[in-house]
Amino acid sequence: MNALKLLVAGMGILLVIGLGVLGWGVTRGMHTATSHGGGADGGSTFTAEVMLPPGSHLEQMTTAGDRIVLRLSGGESERILVVDPHSGQVSGRITLVPDGR
């Protein structure tokens, strides 16, 4: 019976240690995630001007991986601009051309 009590006590101690390590890992992950951003926490920020083609306007904005994707309409044709959020530079342009059939 004493062996069973020791086993239960040991498992309880391991459970408490495991929960402590899990809590430490979660809080460390939160700290790492917030320290890479910009703005209020003192990280780097940027201001960028993305030149739109004449007559174009922003239809939609989304993210793809670590890029910002802007869908433009109006002007000559629809376009998609891919922007690097770290530098503010346009890293790709896609022009959607009608097939003409």
The structural domains of the chain, with segments of one domain joined by +, span: 1-44, 56-96
Q: Given this model, what pLDDT does residue 30 score?
A: 65
pLDDT, mean of residues 19-24: 90
Q: Which amino acid is residue 27, in one-letter code?
A: T
- The token pair at 59 is 């239809």
Q: Given this model, what pLDDT does residue 31 score?
A: 59
Span 24-80, pLDDT tens digits? 888 877 655 554 455 555 556 667 777 777 888 889 999 988 899 999 998 778 899
Q: Which residues contact 61 (CB under 8 A, 6 or more apart)?
A: 68, 69, 70, 71
